[in-house]
């Protein structure tokens, strides 16, 4: 299902129709008070697979030392503000001129029909649905998008247009690179921002998954409504025969269970129990 195309915004760099012969005349960058600085102080920026996939597109362009200078800008706090919205990241970056530059990193948002397919795929998989509804983004999130014919991340520079109001006509310039490195750290902190960038905010996505789970999932009494009679013996058991269980139904109790506050080797107890529930329901 093809993603919807966004109309291109007016380029920031129109105010600079001719690139200068040299940038040395602009001097040193102007320090920013209370700017947004990268948490990483040395080495690579970005810890998760999703921030790595995002930065891989940037690093494929190979524009000399601009990426390194952008990393320096990011760590120095030269970015004044940054917003991740559907279809674009827009930031203000202080360079060597008195007027800060405006930098933008765009992406094509997915059409509503495409997001419907994604939400349906999430809702059909108990593991993905439970993880997302619990506030966790699974590592294999990208696979779900691939199942419905979409690529979560841009595959090249053409799918991620960038623009900056600075005089440097290289793309990305150091200001764009600084913004990209900070975006990667934002993705580390909240991977739902990747989905927002692609056009679907967290609350809308989770509401869509819940609606589909309510429509298609088996009826399950909420745990809170039965916990008071958990240890009470019921009536005589009916004769038990073999019945086919819908895939994922055995995990519904785990999905209803509130957080236990207990972990096993760093894994939430509910998720540690999930493989056993899957085997019971097989």
Mean pLDDT by groups of 10 residues along the chain of 282 residues: 44 46 65 92 85 84 79 95 96 94 95 95 88 86 92 85 90 93 94 95 93 68 72 73 58 70 72 76 62
User: Tell me, what's the pLDDT at 10?
Assistant: 52
User: Tell me, what's the pLDDT at 15?
Assistant: 41
Determine phi and psi for 130, rounding to 5 degrees. Answer: -65, -40
User: Tell me, what's the pLDDT at 262?
Assistant: 72
Q: What is the DSSP letter of 268?
A: E
Is 83 strand, coil or helix?
strand
User: Tell me, what's the pLDDT at 159?
Assistant: 85
Length, in residues, of the chain? 282
User: Tell me, what's the pLDDT at 14?
Assistant: 43
By the 10 Å C-beta count (0-12 exposed, 13-18 middle, 19+ buried), 142 is classed as: middle
H/E segment holding residue 79 = strand 79-85
Q: Which one, of 151, 147, 125, lies nearest residue 138 by Cα? A: 125
- Count Cβ neighbours within 10 Å for each residue of 201-211 and write b for 16 or more, e otherwise: ebeebbebbbe
For residue 60, give both structure tokens: 């494929």
User: Tell me, what's the pLDDT at 267?
Assistant: 72
User: Tell me, what's the pLDDT at 256?
Assistant: 72
Is 92 strand, coil or helix?
strand
Q: Which one, of 68, 69, 75, lies nearest residue 96 by Cα? A: 69
Tell whether pTM > 0.75. no
Residue 34 φ/ψ region, left for φ over 0, alpha for ψ in the -120 to 50 degree band, beta for the rest: left
Q: Are 273 and 250 in contact (CB under 8 A)?
A: no
For residue 102, give both structure tokens: 């405006």
């Amino acid at each position: 299902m093809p993603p919807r195309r966004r109309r291109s915004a007016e380029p920031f760099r129109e105010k600079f129709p001719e690139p200068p012969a040299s940038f040395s005349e602009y001097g040193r960058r102007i320090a920013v008070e209370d700017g947004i600085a990268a948490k990483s102080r040395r080495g690579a920026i970005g810890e998760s697979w999703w921030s790595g996939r995002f930065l891989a597109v940037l690093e494929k362009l190979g524009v000399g030392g601009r990426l390194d200078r952008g990393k320096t800008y990011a760590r120095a706090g030269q970015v004044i503000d940054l917003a991740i919205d559907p279809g674009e990241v827009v930031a203000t970056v202080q360079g060597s001129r008195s007027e800060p530059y405006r930098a933008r990193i765009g992406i094509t948002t997915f059409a509503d029909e495409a997001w419907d397919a994604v939400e349906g795929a999430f809702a059909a998989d108990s593991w993905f649905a439970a993880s997302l509804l619990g506030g966790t983004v699974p590592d294999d999130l990208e696979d779900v998008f691939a199942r419905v014919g979409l690529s979560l991340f841009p595959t090249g520079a053409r799918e991620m247009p960038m623009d900056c109001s600075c005089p440097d006509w290289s793309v990305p310039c150091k200001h764009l690179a600084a913004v990209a490195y900070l975006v990667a750290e934002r993705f580390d902190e909240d991977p739902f921002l990747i989905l927002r960038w692609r056009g679907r905010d967290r609350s809308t996505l989770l509401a869509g998954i819940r609606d589909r789970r309510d429509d298609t999932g088996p009826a399950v009494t909420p745990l809170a409504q039965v916990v008071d009679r958990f240890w009470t013996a019921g009536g005589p058991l009916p004769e038990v025969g073999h019945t086919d269980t819908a895939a994922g139904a055995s995990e519904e109790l785990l999905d209803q269970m509130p957080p236990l506050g207990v972990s096993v080797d760093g894994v939430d107890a509910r998720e540690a129990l999930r493989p056993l529930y899957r085997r019971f329901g097989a």
